Amino acid sequence: MKSGIAFEIIEYNYNSSMNYRENPQLQKLVSIFLEKNTHINLSAIRDEEGVWIKHIEDSLITLHLFDQFGDKKLKILDLGTGGWFPGLPLATMLPQHDFTLLDATRKKIDCVREFAETLGLTNVTPQWGRVEDMRAASMKDERKHNKNGIIFMDGTPSTSDHYDIVVTRAAAYIEDLFTWIKPLLKVDGRAWIYKQASEEEWDDGQQLAKNRGMILTKALTYNLADQERWILEIRKK
């Protein structure tokens, strides 16, 4: 346990018997991703087993956390989706919720759009844009109480300025993630941050969240492919 941590730490035992690999849509996603990744650099992981473990199964670690919301229809933002993770696997397993997948790299968003259309996912909106622009627009809208402020780089407006849940596997320092995420969440909204946190980040995390009007409520720790991983849960006050 890291020094100074006061929030709840939960050791999560990944259950490989959940049989994600038998899901036809996930099978197709892995197949089309592997083919596309030979032409466009979406990920350094290029073998099928690696994609299943490090992209599909890792993305779905948060799946059980959605149970706490019951039948409520949720608006979810995947911040910095890259090649599509964790957004597309979650959207595949949770068709009742609406997902926006955001990334600043146009070619990656074009691929995400192609993947979602191939899979027939009507609950996915791929968006080309920068989180810094979304954050600035959301902060402006909060001051003006205006709900139509976020415009993406492709000129289209966001369907929601504030989300129930933000998920991200973005490789950014936790202070930057907190800064980006807060204006995008509804009050009492959650953010689930997939991280390999450093000692420094653990020591700073609680105070950084508090300074931004958020609470670092708990962390899930788990092992996947012999690698220690963490998911931090942040709640907006």
pLDDT at 132 over 80: no
Lookup: tokens for 47: 């073998």
Average pLDDT over residues 130-139: 65
Predicted pLDDT at 147: 42
Predicted pLDDT at 105: 93
- Model pLDDT for residues 17-46, shown as the tens digit of each residue: 468 999 999 999 999 999 999 999 999 999
Predicted pLDDT at 223: 82
Q: Give the max Cα distance, the chain.
A: 49
Q: What is the DSSP string of 145-203?
A: T-S---B-TTSPBPS-SSEEEEEE-----HHHHHHHHGGGEEEEEEEEEEE---HHHHH
Residue type at position 139 = M
Average pLDDT over residues 163-167: 97
- Model pLDDT for residues 102-114, shown as the tens digit of each residue: 999 999 999 999 9
Predicted pLDDT at 45: 94
Predicted pLDDT at 83: 87
Domains observed in the chain: 8-236 (3.40.50.150)
172-to-76, 107, 153, 168 alpha-carbon distances in Å: 20, 21, 21, 10
Average pLDDT over residues 134-145: 51
Give the chain's mean pLDDT. 84
- The residue among 215 and 5 whose pLDDT is bigger is 215
Average pLDDT over residues 111-137: 88
- Model pLDDT for residues 183-236, shown as the tens digit of each residue: 999 999 999 999 876 656 666 777 888 888 899 888 888 887 778 888 989 999
Predicted pLDDT at 12: 72
pLDDT at 137 over 70: no
- Model pLDDT for residues 47-78, shown as the tens digit of each residue: 999 999 999 999 999 999 999 999 999 999 99
The one-character DSSP state at 53 is I
Lowest mean per-residue pLDDT among 51-65, 80-94, 141-155, 187-201: 141-155
User: What predicted TM-score, i.e. pTM, was given to this entire model?
Assistant: 0.86
pLDDT band, residue 149 (cuts 50/70/90)? very low
Q: Residues 6 or more apart from 21 whose CB is under 8 A from it?
A: 27, 52
